[in-house]
C-alpha cells in the first residue's frame, strides 16, 4: 500500500455564538484545514486542524496549507502509511513548530491506518480505558445572571464539569460571576476557572485566596505561557490545583513541567502536540510523573473533535474537554 495523493481543503465554519477569552480575541468562525490522503488500494484517511489558532500555536490557515502542500505532504507520497511512526518521526524532523500542519497529517495517517487494518483509532493506541466521555462545558464572558443561567442549562443537559472563563478586570467581576455559577449548580457539579494567561503570578496568588471558598476543582493557566517560574510559584502558594494549558506547546514542555512539578495538571491538545502520536507520548510522560491530565481540543470541527475523543478513550485522563 502506497500513498498516492495528499489533498488539502479549506472551510470556514461560522459560529452561531462567537467566543472570546483573554488570549484569543474575538473568534467568529473556525477556519479549518482538512487533509485527505489517498492510497493505491483505495483506502483513504482524513485529518483536520484549525488554522486560526494563532494565539495558541502561531498558525494561520494559509501557513498550515502551505506547510502541508509545499513541505510535509510531498514526503508522504509513495510511502506505506502502515510505517506510521517512521513517517511521523520524519515529519517531526522536517520542520520546527508547524503544529497545525503536523497535527492534520498525523490525524489523517492514523485514520488511514485504522481503515487499512479495519480497527478504530483508539484500538491503535492500545484500546479503550473508559466506556464514557464525560466532557466539561465552558461558560464564556457575560454578566453574572447570564452565566448562572448558562450553567444551570448545562447541568440540566447532564454536564457535571463546568469551567468559567475568567480574567476580567476589575477582579470583582470574576468574583460575581463565579459566585453566581457556584450558587446555580449545586455541590455535585465540578467547577473550575480558566484564566487563559490573564494574571501575573502575584495577582494569581492573591486572587486565588479570595476564590478558595468556591471549592474550585482546578484553575487553568493563570499566568503567561512562558512564565514557568511564575506558574510554579502559584502552584506552591495555593491549595487549589493548577493546570497548564498554553504552557504545553511541545513534549519538551511536558518533560519540564513534570520534572520540576510546575503544576498539578496538564491540558493536552492535539494541535499543540502535533497530533495523536504527540499527545500519546505526552500522556505517557505525565502518567509516569504522576501528573493528572485533561484531554481536550481547541474549539475545532467534528473531525478533529472525533480524533480527540479517540485519544480520550485510550488515555487515563481525569478531565475531558470535547466540544467541537
pTM of the predicted model, to two decimals? 0.96
pLDDT digits (tens, 9 = 90+) for 174-185: 999 999 999 999
pLDDT digits (tens, 9 = 90+) for 70-104: 999 999 999 999 999 999 999 999 998 899 999 99
Mean pLDDT of the chain: 96
**Structural domains for the chain:** 3-119 (3.30.390.10), 124-321 (3.20.20.120)
Q: How confident is the model at residue 110 (pLDDT cuts 50, 70, 90)?
A: very high
Please list the alpha-helical segments (H only) found in the chain: 54-57, 61-66, 73-76, 84-94, 99-117, 121-124, 144-156, 171-185, 201-211, 228-236, 251-259, 270-273, 276-289, 302-314
| pLDDT of amino acid 324 | 66
**How are beta strands 161-165 and 190-194 bridged, if at all?**
parallel
- On the question of pLDDT at 228 being above 70, the answer is yes
Handedness of CA 184, 185, 187, 192 (dihedral sign): negative
- On the question of pLDDT at 271 being above 80, the answer is yes
Count of CB atoms situated within 10 Å of the CB of 86: 10
pLDDT digits (tens, 9 = 90+) for 23-49: 677 888 999 999 999 999 999 999 999
Name the nearest CA neighbour of 303 among 45, 46, 54, 68: 46
Amino acid at each position: 500500500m502506497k500513498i498516492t495523493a495528499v489533498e488539502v481543503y479549506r472551510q470556514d465554519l461560522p459560529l452561531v455564538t462567537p467566543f472570546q477569552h483573554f488570549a484569543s480575541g474575538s473568534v467568529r468562525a473556525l477556519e479549518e484545514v482538512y487533509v485527505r490522503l489517498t492510497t493505491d488500494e483505495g483506502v483513504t484517511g482524513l485529518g483536520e486542524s484549525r488554522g486560526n489558532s494563532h494565539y495558541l500555536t502561531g498558525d494561520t490557515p494559509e501557513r498550515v496549507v502551505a506547510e502541508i502542500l509545499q513541505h510535509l505532504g510531498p514526503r508522504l507520497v509513495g510511502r506505506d502509511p502502515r510505517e506510521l511512526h517512521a513517517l511521523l518521526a520524519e515529519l517531526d524532523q522536517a520542520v520546527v513548530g508547524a503544529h497545525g500542519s503536523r497535527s492534520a497529517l498525523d490525524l489523517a495517517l492514523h485514520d488511514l491506518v485504522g481503515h487499512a487494518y479495519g480497527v478504530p483509532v483508539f484500538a491503535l493506541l492500545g484500546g479503550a480505558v473508559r466506556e464514557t466521555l464525560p466532557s466539561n462545558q465552558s461558560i464564556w464572558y457575560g454578566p453574572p445572571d447570564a452565566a448562572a443561567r448558562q450553567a444551570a442549562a448545562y447541568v440540566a443537559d447532564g454536564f457535571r464539569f463546568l469551567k468559567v472563563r475568567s480574567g476580567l478586570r476589575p477582579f470583582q467581576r470574576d468574583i460575581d460571576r463565579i459566585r453566581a455559577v457556584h450558587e446555580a449548580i449545586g455541590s455535585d457539579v465540578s467547577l473550575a476557572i480558566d484564566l487563559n494567561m490573564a494574571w501575573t503570578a502575584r495577582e494569581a496568588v492573591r486572587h486565588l485566596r479570595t476564590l478558595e471558598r468556591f471549592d474550585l476543582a482546578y484553575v487553568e493557566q493563570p499566568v503567561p505561557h512562558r512564565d514557568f517560574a511564575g506558574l510554579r510559584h502559584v502552584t506552591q502558594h495555593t491549595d487549589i490545583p493548577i493546570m497548564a494549558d498554553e504552557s504545553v506547546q511541545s513534549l519538551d514542555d511536558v518533560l519540564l513541567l513534570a520534572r520540576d512539578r510546575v503544576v498539578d495538571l496538564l491540558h493536552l491538545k492535539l494541535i499543540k502536540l502535533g497530533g495523536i502520536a504527540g499527545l500519546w507520548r505526552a500522556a505517557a510522560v505525565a502518567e509516569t510523573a504522576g501528573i493528572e491530565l485533561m484531554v481536550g481540543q481547541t474549539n475545532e470541527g467534528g473531525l478533529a473533535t472525533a480524533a480527540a475523543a479517540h485519544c480520550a478513550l485510550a488515555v487515563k485522563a481525569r478531565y475531558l474537554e470535547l466540544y467541537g
